[in-house]
A and B are shown apart, each in its own frame.
Chain A
Amino acid sequence: MRPSKARLLDELRRRHNRESASLTPTQRIERARALNALAASVARDRPGRPTDEPPQLLLDMLAHFRRCATRQTA
Chain B
Amino acid sequence: MSSPFEPTELERLERLLASWAKPAAVIGGLAIVARVRERTTRDADVVLTLESSRAQEFLELAVSCGYAYDEQETREFLEGGLIRLWAPPSRAEGAGLDILLADEPYLVTVVERATWVALGGVSLPVASIEDLVLLKLAADRPIDIDDVLAIKDAFETSLDRDYLETKARELEILDRLILYFGARE
Measured CB to CB, the residues of A under 8 A from B are 2, 5, 40-41, 44-45, 47-53, 55, 57-59, 61-66, 68-69, 72
Contact partners of A58 in chain B: CB under 8 A: 45, 82, 98, 100
Are the C-beta atoms of A59 and B104 separated by less than 8 Å?
no
Q: Mark B106-146, 1 if CB is under 8 A from A, else 0.
A: 11000000000000000000000000000100110111001
Nearest residue (CB) in A for B47 is A62
Using A50-B40, A68-B172 as known contacts, say yes or no to A55 and B29 having CB atoms under 8 A apart.
no
Please determine whether B106 and A51 come into contact, CB atoms closer than 8 angstroms: no
Q: Which of A44, A48, A52 contacts B142 (CB 8 A)?
A: A44
User: What CA separation (Å) do A55 and B104 show in the bound complex?
Assistant: 18
Interface residue B81 (Cβ < 8 Å from any Cβ of A): yes
Which residues 73-105 of B have a CB within 8 angstroms of A? 77, 80-82, 84, 96, 98, 100-101, 104-105
Beta-carbon contact of B106 and A68 below 8 Å: yes
Q: Are A47 and B81 in contact (CB under 8 A)?
A: no
* A52 and B170 form a contact (CB under 8 A): no
Q: Which of B77, B101, B106, B139 contacts A55 (CB 8 A)?
A: B77
Q: Do A2 and B40 have beta carbons less than 8 Å apart? A: no
A48 to B42: give the CA distance in the assembly, Å.
9
- Give the docked Cα–Cα distance between A50 and B141 (Å): 13
Q: Which 5 A-B pairs have the closest CB atoms?
A: A59-B80, A62-B81, A52-B43, A51-B143, A69-B104
Decide yes or no: A65 and B104 within 8 Å by CB, A58-B45, A58-B82 being known contacts: yes
B residues contacting A by CB (< 8 A) are 1, 28-29, 39-43, 45, 77, 80-82, 84, 96, 98, 100-101, 104-107, 135, 138-139, 141-143, 146, 150, 170-172
Query: What CA separation (Å) do A47 and B3 show in the bound complex?
Result: 11
Tell me which residues across on chain B come within 8 A of A48, comparing CB atoms: 1, 40
User: Which of B45, B82, B150 meets A2, CB within 8 Å?
Assistant: B150
Are A64 and B171 in contact, CB atoms less than 8 angstroms apart? yes
Complex CA gap A40/B146 in Å reads 13
For the complex, give the distance between the alpha carbons of A48 and B40 in Å. Answer: 6
Instruction: With both chains docked as a complex, state the minimum distance between the C-beta of B176 and any C-beta of chain A, in angstroms.
Output: 13
Report chain B residues within 8 Å CB of A51: 29, 39-42, 143
Q: Is B82's CB under 8 angstroms from A59's CB? A: yes
